Copies of this chain bind each other. A is one copy, B any other.
Amino acid sequence: MRITVIGAGHGGKAMAAHLAIMEFPTVLYNRTADHVAAIKELGGVYLESFEAGPRGFGKLIKVTSIMAEALEKAEMVMVVVPSSAHADIAKACAPYLTDGQIVVLHPGRTCGAIEFNKVLRDNGCTADVIIAEAETFIYASRSDGPAQSRIFRIKEAVPLAALPSKRNQLVLDYIHEVFPQFIDGGNVLQTGMNNMGAIFHPALTILNAGWIETTHGDFQFYIDGVTPSVARVLEALDRERVTVAASIGIRARTGMEWLKLSYDAVGEDLNEAIHNQPGYYGINAPPTLNHRYLFEDVPMSLVPIASLGQRYGVSVTGIDGIIKLASIIHRTDYWRRGRTIEKLGINNLSTDELIHYVKEGVLGTE
């Protein structure tokens, strides 16, 4: 199975190298040729890894900055870019995608597949392409050099959903040839509403803004940055998220449930549960507020949740407060820049029509 990886950041390099080492014919695309010049010259990426993890030289069949070349003959297209670039990637892909190709967003954040599909259609793509999204990124990885990457951990169970979700099994059948770790994520509203970074990242950053900027992040982000009051804010945002999900008939996991499920971390409240997750010890805060925890997670995660909440009558004032403060800090309007239901083309749908859309791929108005 020929696979194209879009994006040569920390994650994209790790995935391309891993796929190549597993002997899948792999193409790596990056918009900026300079960023992949070293890989192109070497012909691949060196991968290091955790004990018993994949390692070695991943020899790629092509390294390119030309989208037409990147997508040619690809059966699966793995999009490994910040979610704020999904729309641009979709626009660039639109002319070249062909029937039967599968595009997987790693991850979609919230409503990534819906946005990707909308942009494809708006740009004249009529190919029968399946867009899918992962709930989180499968690796914890880091790039150590221009043609190097290192995987610290491969997650054991990552929910994945296709748009429409009636094609989940088809996508899982394909991707299981490569990654048996993916499990059925229900539909793209479920994967999107279970986006835990939406809750943890922006609020934790905002409520520690002075500390981050004065010390350049020299404190333990989750351990020192989460206190009883900060956790109370996270809990309030989490309730809003879960309530928005409920308003469209989706049972989202709470933050507490997610900590239990992912890390077996429990506690009386979110503050305790976070401090009972050994993996959080030693993780420092971001060195600056100019960080994806705000510029990606606010528009691509919080805004779509809040936008759906407003549409279906759920109070999202806590989330809105964080969106507003992040907008002030970055001198922008994240409501305007973010994935609102208007931008996603789903603003006129009833909840039934919305669910119908993610299951069947057909807009209620069609």
Q: How far is the CA of A225 from the CA of B211 in the complex (A)?
A: 7
Partner of A208, one of B208, B232, B322, B328: B208
Out of B229, B236, B317, B328, which one reaches A289, CB within 8 Å?
A: B229
A317 to B325, alpha carbons, bound, how many Å? 9
Residues from chain B with a CB closer than 8 A to the CB of A324 are 317-318, 320-321
- On chain B, the residues within 8 Å of A229 by CB distance are 209, 213, 289, 329
Asked if A331 is at the interface (CB within 8 A of a chain B CB), the reply is yes
Kindly state whether residue A94 has any CB partner on chain B within 8 Å.
Answer: no
A206 partner residues in chain B, CB cutoff 8 A: 207
Tell me the complex Cα distance, A126–B229, Å.
Answer: 45
Given contacts A328-B232, A328-B236, contact A210 B213 (CB under 8 A): no
B321 near A232: Cβ-Cβ < 8 Å: no
Q: Which of A217-249 contact B (CB under 8 A)?
A: 219, 224-230, 232-233, 236
Give CA–CA (A236, B229) in the complex, Å.
24
Task: List residues 171-222 of chain A with CB under 8 A from any CB of chain B.
Answer: 204, 206-211, 213-214, 219
Known A-B contacts A208-B209, A321-B321; A214 and B227 likewise in contact (beta carbons under 8 Å): yes
A213-B228 contact, Cβ under 8 Å, with A318-B328, A321-B322, A321-B324: yes
Distance between Cα atoms of A320 and B229 in the complex (Å): 18
Range for the number of chain A residues in contact with chain B: 20 to 34
Contacts of A317 on B, CB cut-off 8 Å? 320, 324
Q: Which residues of B contact A289 (CB under 8 A)?
A: 229
Bound CA–CA A230/B229 (angstroms): 19
A213 to B208 CA separation, bound complex (whole angstroms): 10
What chain B residues lie within 8 Å of A219 (beta carbons)? 214
Contact call A213/B227, Cβ cutoff below 8 A: yes
Give the residues in chain B near A232, CB-CB below 8 Å: 328-329, 331
Min CB gap A223→B, angstroms:
9
Instruction: State the CA gap A342–B338 with chains docked (Å).
Output: 35
Contact across chains for B236 and A224 when beta carbons are under 8 A apart: no
Q: How far is the CA of A226 from the CA of B213 in the complex (A)?
A: 9
Q: Which residues of B lie under 8 Å from residue A225 when comparing CB positions?
A: 210, 214
Task: Please report the C-alpha to C-alpha distance between residue A199 and residue B285 in the assembled complex, in whole angstroms.
Answer: 27
Q: A320-B321, A324-B317, A324-B321 known; A210 and B227 CB under 8 Å?
A: yes
Q: CA separation between A110 and B215, bound complex, in Å? A: 35
How far, in angstroms, from A26 to B139 measured CA to CA in the complex? 73
Closest CB pairs A-B (n = 5): A321-B321, A213-B227, A211-B211, A208-B210, A321-B324
Contacts A209-B229, A318-B325 supplied; 17 other A-B pairs, CB < 8 Å = A204-B210, A207-B209, A207-B210, A208-B208, A208-B209, A208-B210, A209-B230, A209-B233, A214-B227, A233-B325, A317-B324, A318-B324, A320-B321, A320-B324, A321-B322, A321-B324, A322-B325
